[in-house]
Structure 1
Amino acid sequence: MKPLPAEPFVIGQWLVARVNVDYHIAVDDHFYSVPYRLVHERVDVFLTATAVTVFANTERVATHVRSFRRAHHTTLTEHMPPAHQAMARRTPEKLREDAAAVGIATATYVARLLEAREHPEQGMRACLGVLRLAKSYGRERLELACERALAAGALSSRYVEQLLKADQRQPFLQARSDDGLGQHANVRGPSYYN
């Protein structure tokens, strides 16, 4: 049998923490998630060398592996409000897939929005803005607006939205025909050459 250490051995420590508006508590400068319904509540935290366990009214509501990384977050998806969970499921790959379902120009435009940022995740908001326009204006109109935005070299969801709003007032976005440039006052037709 091993002798007991001379100093008392601490198994764990109890703390009290307040849940912040982002549904995280701070423990040793690291942020751990708790269920979002506990925002602004006080919770009890049992801290060991390897785990952080959170209790609300004696009910265990969260357990995390302890992290010693300062100013970082440990977040469980089930702790997020439904809107945040939906956003967390959005990835650049999923946005590219959704854009490809609209059309080639929309897919290309979304890809450029993602590539224009240092990190693709930073362009996700703009991509979501473009894709939501399909609900208001239709997929075909969005595809035409993205074609126009690509030709203009624009990289913003607002630009595409302004095109669609202007087209709604006075239609100018038209599908290209495969038989050349189309009719225009400055284009000589086949009869000119005969």
Structure 2
Amino acid sequence: MKQFQARVIKNGHVNLGPDKHYYSVPYRYIGKRVKLLYSRTTVEIYSNYERIALHKRNKNPYGYTTDKEHMASTHRFKSDWTPDMFLDWAASIHEDVRLYILQILERKQHPEQAYKSCLGVLGFAKKAGNERLTVACQRALSYGVYNYKTIQTILENKMDNYEESLFANELPMPDHGNIRGEDYYK
């Protein structure tokens, strides 16, 4: 058996460094340091010499092995979240919101890692309204940037109210003696 020390992260999992795989532990150990003993086939997790979890070893990098019993009852509902749930919710607002949520989900190796971001984006429908969220998603889609922070920035700065013509038409270069212009470089 080999050993590895780690801290339990906020989602109730601990990372086995050599495999880069995450294993669940009971939620009450969040934030605590634990010892992982692992063999070719199993991973045992200990806190103060007491075994708190036993999992079959999985070498899938950045994957998650989760025992539902380890999750706090208040957080178990999250395990019922699915990509389809978020996509259906987004589609009920507007097709462009659904496209944006789809992009967020597709950019994560595991859709579960994107759920918090999806929840945040869709929560703006309540705060800012469906119409503003739709325009913000359309703008963010045109930027090709897919995350919660982008939508938050667009809405906070009221960029969803900007006229599209401001972005579509470039202003001509001013005529000035210190500006060489495009012909200078040919």
Q: Find the counterpart in structure 2 of residue 40 from structure 1.
A: 32
In structure 1, distance between residues paired with 2:128 and 2:118: 16
In structure 1, distance between residues paired with 2:26 and 2:42: 17
1:68-96, CA deviations, whole angstroms, 9 ceiling, x for partnerless residues? x3866553154457898676655433321
Q: Which is higher, the Rg of structure 1 or of structure 2?
A: 1
| Cα distance change of structure 1 residues 40 and 57 upon mapping to structure 2, 3 Å threshold | closer
| SS of corresponding position for 1:63 | strand
TM-score normalised over the length of structure 1:
0.49
TM-score normalised over the length of structure 2:
0.51
Query: What displacement does 1:58 show?
Result: 6.6
In structure 2, distance between residues paired with 1:141 and 1:160: 10
| SS of corresponding position for 2:143 | coil
Query: What is the correspondence of 1:74-89 to structure 2 with a 5 Å cutoff?
Result: 75-78=65-68, 79=70
1:154 aligns with 2:154: no
In structure 1, stretches of 5+ residues that fail to align are 1-12, 174-194
Query: What displacement does 1:64 show?
Result: 0.9
1:154-186, CA deviations, whole angstroms, 9 ceiling, x for partnerless residues? 334555445544559x9679xxxxxxxxxxxxx
In structure 1, distance between residues paired with 2:126 and 2:5: 40
1:96 aligns with 2:83: no
In structure 2, distance between residues paired with 1:160 and 1:44: 40
Over the matched positions of the two proteins, sequence identity in percent amounts to: 26
In structure 2, stretches of 5+ residues that fail to align are 164-186
Q: What is the aligned residue count?
A: 153
Q: Find the counterpart in structure 1 of residue 53 from structure 2.
A: 62
In structure 1, distance between residues paired with 2:64 and 2:82: 19
| SS of corresponding position for 2:7 | coil
